[in-house]
Amino acid sequence: MSLFDIKDKMDELVGELNQHTYNYYVLAMPTIADFEFDKKLEELNRLELEYPDLADPNSPTQKVGGDITKSFITVNHRWPMLSLGNTYNEQDLRDFDDRIRKTIGDSFEYVCELKFDGLSISLTYEDNKLIRAVTRGDGSKGDDVTTNVKTLNKIPHRLKAGDAPPVFEIRGEIFMHRAAFNRLNREREELGEIQYANPRNFAAGTIKMQDSGEVAKRPLDCFLYSLNTDKNYFKTHWDSLQGLKEWGFKISNDTRLVNGIDDVLAFIDHWNNERFKLSYDIDGIVIKVNSYAQQQELGFTAKSPRWAISYKYKAQEVETLLERVTYQVGRTGAVTPVANLRPVQLAGTTVKRATLHNANEIERLDLHEGDSVFVEKGGEIIPKITNVNLDKRHDGAERIIYPIDCPECGSHLIRKDGEVAFYCPNDEGCPPQIIGKIQHFIGRKAMNIDGLGDETIETFYKKGLVEHISDLYLLKDKADELKTIERFGERSIENMMQGIEQSKQMPFEKVLFGLGIRYVGETVAKKLAFGVKNIDNLMGATFEELITIDEIGQRIAESITEYFSKSEHIDQINQLKVFGLQFQIQENEIALQSEKLTGKTFVISGVFENYSREELKELIESNGGKILSGISAKLNYLLAGENMGPSKHDKAKKLNVPFISEDDLFEMLK
């Protein structure tokens, strides 16, 4: 592979992982199994280690995961909420144990905890009163959901009189019991609403509702498992759990203090089967070094503690009948096969459908009509077919052949060299693509149009109100038709119109991302916008000119030139120009605040108290500085926050690169 191809692959993985992270933490609607996510993350991490100069400084490998929801006040975590490293096998655990022993010796204990499958929460208490509840968010800051959390009767608002410190933070997991989940999902089905995929999604979705009265109606539960204070109030994690019990917090009775890795493995083996007898979901076991002093000695990586790890259970597998294969067409035209199954119980839920990914997967499985297939739930979320029971295949069963034409519009499908997915090229005439494109355009990371949602767009399309993005800006002339739509009153219409009008002020890079050009994600759209300055320059750019723009590779450039070669797309952009959307960078966006950092290069690493890394990046660039992707002899400064990566730290030290803090940076700008 050429460096261009490798960079494209890394960009693709970054885009996929960021989207899946957003789906999981913010939307509470994951579309990929944990195992598949971890494999993609491992692949990206391997490529970044092999090609450090190509690595994105904001790569998902450097992030805890999660995002901030605009509906709530954002609060900085006093102590970052880091994620844990994951493993699925015994050898990784033994390697983890060996690393611990090499650092702190053989005298230590582990605490084994169930890994609850819910929503991480941080609770702050002052003078024995609950004053704040915050979600994990991006690890350094999260959403303030205090009002909603106070509806949970399992979380004390006021502690018993005791010896708790005056200020402390306790962390845990909010979850929903399976019985409650099934009951509430049945109610949603009766109302014709989309059902949640699993209890974790339902719990996360509930905590992020705007109506705390509705939250109070839903039976959520919570286990607490971690204490943070300015000074270690206890000597060990185990002692802190016992203290939390005495203060009135709900702590799992299944947590165990053990002496070595063999005891850890026995604990894991026990819960491999027993977990299905629980009334709630767990997806693994968390292992922590018990002593706080030893935890401090072991320290942290950029995104996780070195003294803890999580073991995830492999998916449960069952056998059932393949009834038929259907095909879904996505926003970009990708055609995904779906296996429709005879309903079967798997990991506590009824499975009726499973993903088949692409044509290669159908061929790999050699699927035939009526096959008996083995199904597993990867990461307890999305079912998939892993194999076929050939002994049960009927004589004369017809082989399943991936279609050559789009199942929605009949257009001939195409597949480009080096890709596994087939695409429908009829993006302006294929209904699912049209609907998906408009849904993407109104989304939070694009035009962020309040008052419009995915279901509304689908309804508008079916009623002939919208067929193109530009049609959204003509809805103001169709008020009488809108009023005839069920559950769409004057207030809803007014909010929608206001949201559409406000979207005209969204900056060029947001509009460009909203167009939905294949491979042009949020970051690429920003690079393009600032690289070409306006849409006319982009439409007229040649392939050779595009690949000279920072981070624009061959595949992205090809996609852009192909997109603007279609007259339908040019017509849409011309109409959007007439409606007043922003198709050029505003002068104040590209003007330098000063030239105080001109000629100076920076790398940003770690977690910062007052600003996000993106905010610091913008601050440096707006004052003439340049951000580099990695540590080298050309680097002038390493802007270092807390928990920065040890490899960057050591390399910078070796090259005598100066370390600076947030305060040092602002001193330079005075």
pLDDT along the chain (670 residues), means of 10: 78 82 57 71 84 75 52 84 86 94 94 93 93 89 89 83 85 89 69 63 82 76 92 91 90 94 96 86 93 92 86 86 93 90 84 86 92 76 82 94 95 85 91 94 89 91 94 92 85 91 94 91 84 93 88 86 94 96 74 79 78 77 84 89 73 91 85
CATH of 74-312, one of 3.30.43.10, 3.30.470.30, 3.20.20.70, 3.30.565.10: 3.30.470.30
Sign of the Cα pseudo-torsion (246, 250, 254, 256, in order): negative
What are the residue numbers of the active site?
115
Can you give the C-alpha Rg of the chain in angstroms?
A: 26
Domain boundaries, the chain: 3-55, 74-312, 315-423, 431-587, 601-669
Torsions phi, psi of 301, nearest 5? Answer: -95, -170
* Model pLDDT, residue 511: 96
Q: Looking at the domain covering 601-669, what would its CATH class be?
A: alpha beta
Residues 110, 265: contact at Cβ < 8 Å?
no
Nearest by Cα to 641 from 669, 596, 609:
609
Bridge partners (DSSP) of residue 330 are none
Residue 584 tokens read as 């050029």
Residue 73 tokens read as 């006040």
Supply the pTM of this predicted model: 0.49
- In the CATH scheme, what is the code of domain 431-587? 1.10.150.20
Instruction: Enumerate long-range contacts of 346-349, CB under 8 Å, 24 or more apart.
Output: 346/316, 346/318, 346/375, 346/376, 346/377, 346/383, 347/276, 347/315, 347/316, 347/377, 347/380, 348/178, 348/276, 348/281, 349/198, 349/377
Residue 536 tokens read as 């006319």
Cα-to-chain-centroid distance, residue 52: 23
Q: Which DSSP symbol is given to 355?
A: E
Query: Alpha-carbon distance 310 to 312, whole Å?
Result: 6
Query: Alpha-carbon distance 320 to 388, whole Å?
Result: 10
Condensed to tens digits (0 to 9), the pLDDT of residues 480-532 reads 889 888 878 888 899 999 999 999 999 999 999 999 998 888 878 888 998 89
Condensed to tens digits (0 to 9), the pLDDT of residues 108-124 reads 999 999 999 889 999 99
Q: Which fold has domain 3-55?
A: Helix Hairpins (1.10.287)
* Model pLDDT, residue 590: 46
Q: Which DSSP symbol is given to 144?
A: B
* Model pLDDT, residue 574: 96
Residues 173, 135: contact at Cβ < 8 Å?
no
Instruction: Kindly give, in sequence order, each residue whose CB lies less than 8 Å from that of residue 286, ignoring residues fewer than 6 positions away.
Output: 84, 112, 113, 114, 115, 225, 308, 309, 310, 311
Cα→Cα distances 577→185, 466, 516, 570, Å: 44, 18, 17, 11
Residue 377 tokens read as 């739930």
Sign of the Cα pseudo-torsion (628, 631, 637, 640, in order): positive
- In the CATH scheme, what is the code of domain 315-423? 2.40.50.140
Within this chain, domains 431-587 and 601-669 share the same CATH topology: no
How wide is the angle at C-alpha 474 spanned by C-alphas 469 and 479, nearest 5°? 125
